[in-house]
Structure 1
Amino acid sequence: MAFTMGFNFLLLLAMAATNLLSLYHLSSTFQSPKPSPPVPIHIPQHLLRHLNDIRATINHLTASTSDSKRTSPVPHDLILHSQVAPIASSCHRHPYLLRRYMNYTPFSTCPYDLDLQETLILNGCHPLPRRRCFSKTPPKPTSSLPLNPFPTALPDSSVIWTKYSCKSFACLLQNNPIDFDLNARRSSLLKYASELDLPVNRFMQLAKSANSVIRLGIDIGGGTGTFAALMKIFYNVTMLTTTLNVNAPYSEAVAARGLVPLHVPLQQRLPVFDGTMDLVRCGRAVNRWIPLPVMEFMFYDVDRVLRGGGYLWLDRFFSKAMDLEEVYEPMIGKLGYKKVKWAVANKTDPSGLKNGEVYLTAVLQKPVSR
């Protein structure tokens, strides 16, 4: 009996050992092979930079820093806006300014911080976040505004700015007559004194002879809006004027004349739909001081908004003579536009003589179809 029990015990141990060896063998035989290392995916550098910009923006919006300038918490409305709308990636380079801009009291009067806004805009932080506050209005608003875009005087009752030494349009006229003498600017756009000049009526004749209808347009860097005013009163053409209040309240002056100011920098995409404009005019704001990539993108954005057969008008664009021949003319030529007018002459002021600069006045027509 004892022998039988011992034998059965040995058989049980042998069976258990066999099962253990079988399980070990199966686990080693059917073990999944090690995965091969992943094939690296090439990501273009510009996408990496853009992703890094976005990450940095999110970090600045959601994390506190030890910087003495940034010890205050992130304004609640900045975080709220970042959750409902995109914020330009360039804002991450100026988080302190962005926080100042969004550090206000909701549902009250907005701070009058135009300098801060334009600093952010010119550094690429545009469009700016929206704010839940009320815009400032004049203490004694005028009972009527001029319907004529060439009034004898712009209404000082609409003035709300505080950052300029001049506190009235009358003061601006006295101290800056080149920009704020509306009649002087008007006459300069109607006269023909040299081959660089293109009076408004002459341009409209050129368009009419080509069976082109001019109804809508944009004046880039149009100052106080005199070109838009002329097109409105003489030809019933609606012109938008891009403005920035650099050293003077140009946007307020444009609006006081019953015209539309677009508060946008040159590097921003024009805020109008594709193929809708009959004319885009580039005034004195467009010149050789603009970085070449910005200017090239601007020309192609002009092409985007122009309809087939529309016109690009460069009014006294200036650059060095060599640069015009080697850089700007080839850049403009890539658009494939028809040259309606192309006039070049020396820039004879002290800066022009010193730097060997020339003026270019050109009217170019976009192909009707591509």
Structure 2
Amino acid sequence: MGSVSLKIGDGTARFKRATLCSSAVNLLMLFSVITTNLFALYAFTSSPKDQQTYHLLHHTQKNISLISEQVSLILREIDSSQKKLAQMEKELLGYESIDLSRSNVAHELKLFLQHHQLPLGKDSRTGITEMVASVGHSCEKSADLLSQYMNYKVSGPCPDDWSLAQKLILRGCEPLPRRRCFAKTLPKVGLNPFPISLWKPVSDKIVTWSGLGCKSFECLNSKKLSRDCVGCFDLVNGFENQRFVKARGKNDFLIDDVLALGSGGIRIGFDIGGGSGTFAARMAERNMTVITNTLNIDAPFSEFIAARGLFPLFLSLDHRFPFYDNVFDLVHAASGLDVGGKPEKFEFVMFDIDRILRPGGLFWLDNFYCSNEEKKRDLTRLIERFGYKKLKWVVGDKVDAAASGKSEVYLSAVLQKPVRV
């Protein structure tokens, strides 16, 4: 009876109803009604020549009436299905996913989620009749927190609640609704010009420390924030300023060696879970642009990366990457790529990486932590499903970066995406 067309990335859903089928059924209905009336008129205005002819006409009229009833039933079913599709459309667009009638729902949230009719009516190209706000479907599960996030004074200062926003994002409430307030600002005094900014220490004073345990970079550098970030905010001492140009083990690939595998075709890249942005800094030194995906988990990663003159993207791995297909020459990811949970969840991330990486582009899996042999096998099988060419592939032990002395297994690989037809 029709087909459903969904486009999840922009937060909208459209249902395209099959008008050809509906028109054919309507014509059939009209034809049957006219034919029935003609036979009825004939039966009442003319006398039958014989009994057989009369019975034939009566039988034909009865069959046509039965067809009319069947067509009417089909039309009712079509109408019922269209209503069900419209209801599904509303639910997918978020019309009824969040109960806005509750007393504790902020007025701004109600206003933002209101759908608005297009001023010129239905759009002939897309079929859309109204605009609907884009908001994550999982926001319904955190409606109280979402309402708290949207409770502010219009045109006034926003509450200092970036940590609340991040909590909502990590709960799947992504994208968050827009707000009509001014975000808290800090004077960015002491920023260095590019490219000096790539390796100059960032001042503690230009960072928002609210919601964080540490209140200085010295404090952060004394902690192991993740497997990929141990002392990663120290751009002068330690190993951060030697990463990608000096190897500490066989799993550490040098950036120039990897770029050489791309045969000069590496220009733009995407770094997933890129810590303090050092990979992007190394690429910037080589006149290549890299976007670093990060969240402020226990540290001000986004502000630090921006202070280095680099591009931070505040986005969780559960969100579909907001890029078009086949646009990046290189995707770099380390252990932060591991989203945990079921293997299918990791597969979704891997397929999205494949989507944004152009044919012939490189996927650099950098020191991916394999907690056990089974996980290493599962990861290997998953990668082989994509048919990538293995340009470099190293599995080896490495001493824990936190200096615990424990040996751990890591996988490093450079893979080239094939051309699929």
Q: What's the offset of the Cα at 1:36?
A: 6.6
Check 1:277–1:290 CA distance in 2 against 1; reply closer, same or farther (3 A cut).
farther
Equivalent residue, structure 2, for 1:94: 142
CA displacement 1:154-188 (0-9 Å, x = unmatched):
02332233122333334434556622112422313
Check 1:348–1:169 CA distance in 2 against 1; reply closer, same or farther (3 A cut).
closer
Query: Is the 8 Å Cα contact of residues 146 and 256 (structure 1) preserved in structure 2?
Result: no
Q: What's the offset of the Cα at 1:264?
A: 0.6
Higher helix share: 1
Check 1:95–1:341 CA distance in 2 against 1; reply closer, same or farther (3 A cut).
same
Of residues 85, 97, 108 in structure 2, which corresponds to 1:77? 108
SS in 2 for 1:62: coil
Query: Is the 8 Å Cα contact of residues 155 and 256 (structure 1) preserved in structure 2?
Result: no
**Residue identity matched to 1:231:** M
Check 1:288–1:195 CA distance in 2 against 1; reply closer, same or farther (3 A cut).
farther
SS in 2 for 1:182: coil
Of residues 254, 257, 281 in structure 2, which corresponds to 1:202? 257
SS in 2 for 1:205: helix
Q: What's the offset of the Cα at 1:320?
A: 3.6
Work out the CA distance in 2 between the residues paired with 1:55 and 1:288.
27
Work out the CA distance in 2 between the residues paired with 1:198 and 1:336.
22
SS in 1 for 2:96: helix
Structure 1 residue 225 corresponds to structure 2 residue 247: no
Structure 1 residue 129 corresponds to structure 2 residue 177: yes
SS in 1 for 2:291: strand
Alignment of 1:217-366 (within 5 A): 217-233=269-285, 235-287=286-338, 289=340, 291-349=342-400, 358-366=409-417
Equivalent residue, structure 2, for 1:13: none
Equivalent residue, structure 2, for 1:179: 232
**Residue identity matched to 2:183:** S
Provide the aligned C-alpha RMSD in A: 3.3
- Unaligned stretches of 5+ in structure 2? 1-61, 116-131, 225-229
Work out the CA distance in 2 between the residues paired with 1:51 and 1:356.
53
SS in 1 for 2:335: coil
- Unaligned stretches of 5+ in structure 1? 1-28, 65-70
Q: What's the offset of the Cα at 1:290?
A: 5.2
Alignment of 1:38-117 (within 5 A): 54=92, 58=96, 60-64=98-102, 71-72=103-104, 74-82=105-113, 83=115, 84-117=132-165
Structure 1 residue 215 corresponds to structure 2 residue 279: no
Check 1:193–1:160 CA distance in 2 against 1; reply closer, same or farther (3 A cut).
closer
Work out the CA distance in 2 between the residues paired with 1:163 and 1:309.
42
Work out the CA distance in 2 between the residues paired with 1:216 and 1:300.
19
Check 1:57–1:187 CA distance in 2 against 1; reply closer, same or farther (3 A cut).
farther
Work out the CA distance in 2 between the residues paired with 1:312 and 1:143.
36
Equivalent residue, structure 2, for 1:142: 189
Work out the CA distance in 2 between the residues paired with 1:62 and 1:337.
48
State the aligned residue count.
Answer: 322
**Residue identity matched to 2:231:** I
Work out the CA distance in 2 between the residues paired with 1:290 and 1:214.
33
**Residue identity matched to 1:127:** P
The TM-score normalised by the length of structure 2 is 0.68
Query: Is the 8 Å Cα contact of residues 90 and 96 (structure 2) preserved in structure 1?
Result: no
Check 1:329–1:356 CA distance in 2 against 1; reply closer, same or farther (3 A cut).
farther
**Residue identity matched to 1:255:** A
The TM-score normalised by the length of structure 1 is 0.77
Query: Is the 8 Å Cα contact of residues 334 and 366 (structure 2) preserved in structure 1?
Result: yes
Equivalent residue, structure 2, for 1:68: none
Q: What's the offset of the Cα at 1:348?
A: 4.6
Work out the CA distance in 2 between the residues paired with 1:108 and 1:350.
45
**Residue identity matched to 2:232:** D
Check 1:151–1:343 CA distance in 2 against 1; reply closer, same or farther (3 A cut).
closer
**Residue identity matched to 1:91:** C
Equivalent residue, structure 2, for 1:14: none
Work out the CA distance in 2 between the residues paired with 1:343 and 1:290.
25
**Which protein shows a greater Rg?**
1
Query: Is the 8 Å Cα contact of residues 366 and 413 (structure 2) preserved in structure 1?
Result: yes
Work out the CA distance in 2 between the residues paired with 1:288 and 1:54.
26
Check 1:57–1:291 CA distance in 2 against 1; reply closer, same or farther (3 A cut).
farther
SS in 1 for 2:290: strand
Query: Is the 8 Å Cα contact of residues 149 and 229 (structure 1) preserved in structure 2?
Result: no
Q: What's the offset of the Cα at 1:255?
A: 0.7
SS in 1 for 2:252: coil
Work out the CA distance in 1 between the residues paired with 2:306 and 2:295.
13
Query: Is the 8 Å Cα contact of residues 271 and 333 (structure 2) preserved in structure 1?
Result: yes
- Identical columns (%): 38
